[in-house]
Amino acid sequence: MEHKHAQAEQANPGLIAGLLGITRNLLGLIINRIELASLELSEIGGNLVRFLVLFTLAAIALWFAVAFWAVLLVFLAWDSWGWKIFLVLGAFFTIATAAIAWYARSLLQQGKLSLPATMAELRKDRDALL
């Protein structure tokens, strides 16, 4: 009877040590994934700030350009086209706006603001654990 009890005591330290090892590895894996996510988030943050600054500057420059060109076109075409010049300009800028919005949407769909490496590693971890 004592022999079985001694074997059980010897198995328990090995089991506890194994569980502690698994827990330590799991915590290391979680910390590693958090570090990877924070690295990617900082990179995305920098890119996002740069994108927003450039977008704002481009929008301001575009508004000035549109205003000056539109005024020039209206001034030059008013004698021959009259009010129809406003219709032409409105249609042109509507089409231009739709094209720019479509292009911006395609840039966002390319995943520039996502975490590709972190998500791939998390999928690998999930597959390995399940």
**pTM to 2 decimal places:** 0.42
Candidates 49, 67, 69, 70; CA nearest to 59 is 67
What would the 3-class secondary structure string for 18-81 be? HHHHHHHHHHHHHHHHHHHHHHHHHHHHHHHHHHHHHHHHHHHHHHHHHHHHHHHHHHHHHHHH
pLDDT tens figures, 12-36 = 677 888 888 888 888 888 888 888 8
As given in the structure block, the two tokens for residue 108 are 């966002």
